[in-house]
Structure 1
Amino acid sequence: MGILTAVRVKHAKPGEKLADGDGLRLDVDKNGNASWIFRFKSPVTDKERFMGLGPLRDIGLAQAREAAGAARALIRNSVDPIEHRLAERAKAKAEATGTITFEAYAKQFIAGKEAGWKNEKHRQQWSNSLRDYAYPILGHIAVPDVDTESVLKVLRPIWNVKKETARRVRGRIEAILNAAKAEGLRTGENPALWRGHLDQVLARRRKSEVKHHPALPYEEMPQFWQSLASDTSDGARMLRWIILTACRFNEADEMDVAREVKGDLWTIPAARMKAEREHKVPLTDLALAQLPFRPVSDVTLSNCIARHTDSVATTHGMRSTFRDWAGDCTSFPRDIAEMALAHAVDDETEAAYRRSTALAKRRELMTTWAAHCSGG
């Protein structure tokens, strides 16, 4: 039972704030208009919030206590009652207008993409991250109504505490909304876009926060390769493939050779790329000679590296070895080397143009790299 009585509520005076206990109170403005307020600490942001429960003329003391009790139940389950109410309203609006909600469309998007995801873990990462962070805020919002404010509600609580997770969630929301726009379900700028949009309000990662992977000095690559070339294990073949293509571990680990390798070109689907854009890799004869191989773990690759060099190096660090060599030992333009690593170049328009025209130059770069590695 609360503190207030029906009589006390009935005779509330202008300017009074009557507390019933456990966050529920009746606020009366100077004109005598009385409304119920529920004060609570959000289980999502840990900040104090005030939730309006309605005017006294429509909601009596008993109803207000019932509404406050329902809100407390949500809080006990780590749900912010204000966000829950907004989600329910958005869901009702979507159903009334016949539009699809973000959660429903996202699940369709994943279902359509997962056939191209060889690794079940990749699908689970997409589904679980959206379930845990995006759906509680965006899930019931109609796809056309997802805006910057709602995207920021997803990202801000985790942006500085779960940095890599937040980055991936943002990218996945952007990909889903891009697909929705392509299908004519929404118009306008993508509210999850980073460059020129969210980067204006969310902190960028400091360089000191980026962990660099130990890289083999490029001067040592020919000697390392000479030893590695005599290793017939799947791990050695996979490592040689990663070195010659400058790809990431997961891109090689989840590769579907029959689908992705056509002639001397490897096309990696956007779903497996860190930047979530399709990436084409020109393949040298030496790279093609490594196929096929049975994918092994990153630990196995690390052990393989250790067998063939005393230098401290990692699988991912081989990308740095390639980049250092390209910058120090060749005259290839910077953006060609960056695109070989599937890094974005500064100008998006230029990047789109370059992706369609620079393949020949990248093929020449990778041929030169293969020659350096093999000592040719």
Structure 2
Amino acid sequence: MAKRQLHKLSSREAETIAEPGRHGDGGGLYLVIEAGVHGRRQWIFLYRVRGTSKRRELGLGPAKGKGKDGLSLADARRKAADARKKLAEGKDPAAERRAEKVAAITFGEFADALLQSIKSGFKGKKTYADWKRDLKVRCQPIRSKNLQEINTTDILAILSPMWLTINRTARETRSRIERVFMAARAKGLRSGENPAIWRGNLKELLPKAKRSKRHHQAAPYKGVPGIVRALQEKHKSADSSVNLAAEFIILTAVRTGEARFMRVREVDLGERLWIVPAERMKTEDSPEGLCFEVPLSDRAVSILKAVIPKDASPDAYVFAGQWSRNREKPLGMNAVLHALKAVYPAMTTHGCRSSFRDWAGDETTYERDIAEMALAHKVGDEVEQAYRRGSALKKRRQLMEAWARYIGGVSNVVTFASREPQSDDREPPSRQTAESR
């Protein structure tokens, strides 16, 4: 059988041909010219995978042409000859190239690129800083290693020294390393078992660490009215919105971040309602993908009227930073905490939510679910969450009004909700009252 003719094209033809299509030089080497005024010129190598009828195309690079840089005919022929040699040895040229590409990518290079691609989904700068610290500093021993070379022993060397001393950080680091390898595998840059996977791998090799639950400092709910009065007194002398912000957080029992980043457009004073966008909710505890409606008591409305200028932009922050012009920056992360600790040292902003929850459980007969929903907590299992669409806004409004009256010292009477089932769009049944304990 006659051999296929090689070297069909001349150097001049390879550089001057302008007709779109494939122009064969023989032996699987083709010059491909795309249609159009600026038609792209490229060298490709066509071949069949051994033992199959599948045809594959291997790009060799851009082709040289009039006024265009690229591979000359001679360069393209050398690359095609190298590909034919690999075929003769039983190798797949495309697979070999992929292997070479994988071998050139280190953990550090890929981790940095992944971090840049996913950082837009982070809630704040701190999350990005934590990821960067873990992938750059804690993973330093493996950053220069090829992705495919890293094994479980390498990951253990990173995690073991901190597993028992700073376990939470170690667990976060392991999770982030695992995601890097998952992404590498998805891109075809890594094969085999994920060396940072937990079950059936690191779980069997690392000692069980004791986890201590961190409880946020909270004041007994009976002390909250006094704390609120102290904040009001400090506001009179300090002439700053930070004390009002602290009081507002206590009144609404929201998380600090939800109040700090509150914008004017989220508030409807007519409906006495604040709608927190879904993206600002803490999704581990809150129903996913849902905004949160916060009913506003009389005092909460008064605070908002006091801090929001009449000419404020809809995008302006309600509780703006002290030195923020045009309300373009929110209160600092620790500003509210410092305001609280100035009047009650053993108190945190998150602890205000605990005080509210204790009061609701001890001093009222509102259903547990209503108190939990007031804190934007998930209620029930996944099935119940899927079927429950209401937010119990009317009941929650009654609860928050009772809380506002309690901490405002307006009355020593706490309102109890009826145990009877009640629809959100029906008028509430008659109410009972009892003295606070």
TM-score relative to the length of structure 1:
0.50
Aligned residues of 2:182 and 2:194 also touching (Cα < 8 A): yes
Q: Distance in 2 between matches of 1:179 and 1:362?
A: 41
RMSD: 5.3
Q: CA 1:197 to 1:324, structure 2 compared with 1: closer, same or farther past 3 Å?
A: farther
1: CA distance, partners of 2:106 / 2:209 = 30
Aligned to 2:294: 284
SS in 2 for 1:284: strand
Match of 2:142 in 1: 137
Counterpart check, 1:169 vs 2:176: no
Map of 1:293 onto structure 2:
319
- Determine which of 235, 239, 246 is the counterpart of 1:239: 246
* SS of alignment partner, residue 212 of structure 1: coil
* 8 Å CA contact 2:102, 2:147 repeated in 1: no
Q: Does 1:370 align with 2:400?
A: yes
Q: 1:160 to 1:368 in 2, by over 3 A?
A: farther
Alpha-carbon displacement from aligned partner over 1:7-26 (angstroms, at most 9, x marks no partner): xxxxxxxxxxxxxxxxxxxx
Measure the CA separation in 1 of the matches of 2:393 and 2:182: 30
Q: Does the alignment pair 1:154 with 2:161? A: no
Going from structure 1 to structure 2, the CA distance change for 1:225 and 1:156 (only over 3 Å counts) comes to same
Q: Secondary structure at the match of 2:278?
A: strand
Residue in structure 1 matched with residue 94 of structure 2 by the alignment: none
Equivalent-residue separation in structure 1 for 2:393 and 2:124 (angstroms): 28
Residue 214 (str. 1) matches residue 217 (str. 2): yes
Retained in 1: the 8 A contact 2:138–2:158?
yes
- Give 1:285 deviation, angstroms: 3.8
Aligned partners of 2:103 and 2:244: how far apart in 1? 53
In structure 2, do the counterparts of structure 1 residues 129 and 355 end up closer, same or farther at CA, with 3 Å as the change threshold?
A: farther
Structure 2 Cα separation of the partners of residues 98 and 372 of structure 1: 65
Q: Distance in 1 between matches of 2:156 and 2:374?
A: 30
Structure-2 change in CA distance of 1:173 and 1:109 (3 Å): same
Counterpart selection for 1:331 from 367, 375, 381: 367
Q: How does 1:39-58 map to 2 (within 5 A)?
A: none
Superposition deviation, residue 215 in structure 1: 0.2
Match of 2:339 in 1: 304
Which structure features the higher share of helix residues?
A: 1
Decide which of 315, 330, 348 is 1:314's aligned counterpart. Answer: 348
Structure 1 residues 118 and 211, CA, compared in 2 at 3 Å: closer, same or farther? Answer: closer
1:266-305 per-position Cα deviation (integer Å, ceiling 9, x unaligned): 32469x8789x97756131437948611234455323422
Residue equivalent to 1:67: none
Give the direction of change, closer, same or farther, for the CA distance of 1:265–1:130 in structure 2 (3 Å limit).
same
Give the partner amino acid of 1:162: I
Q: Give me the whole-angstrom Cα distance separating, in 1, the residues matched to 2:259 and 2:186.
A: 29
Q: 1:93 to 1:155 in 2, by over 3 A?
A: farther
Structure with greater Cα Rg = 2
CA-to-partner distance for each residue in 1:184-218, whole Å, 9 max, x for gaps?
Answer: 878999775668986664424343xx443320223
Structure 2, unaligned runs of 5 or more:
1-96, 269-273, 308-316, 321-329, 407-437
Contact persistence 1:246–1:341 (CA under 8 A): no
- Equivalent residues in 2 for 1:2-81, closer than 5 Å: none
Q: Distance in 2 between matches of 1:260 and 1:102?
A: 43
Is contact 2:142-2:150 (8 Å) kept?
no
Q: Is the 8 A contact 2:275 2:292 kept in 1?
A: yes
Supply the distance in 1 between the matched residues of 2:350 and 2:319 (Cα, whole angstroms): 19
Per-residue deviation, 1:169: 1.9
DSSP-derived class of the 1:264 partner: strand
- Number of equivalent positions: 272
Residue aligning to 1:265: 276
8 A Cα contact 2:152 2:195, kept in partner: yes
Are the structure 2 counterparts of residues 138 and 218 from structure 1 closer, same or farther at C-alpha, using a change threshold of 3 Å? farther
Q: Deviation string for 1:101-123 (max 9, x for gaps)?
A: 54334323322343455754543
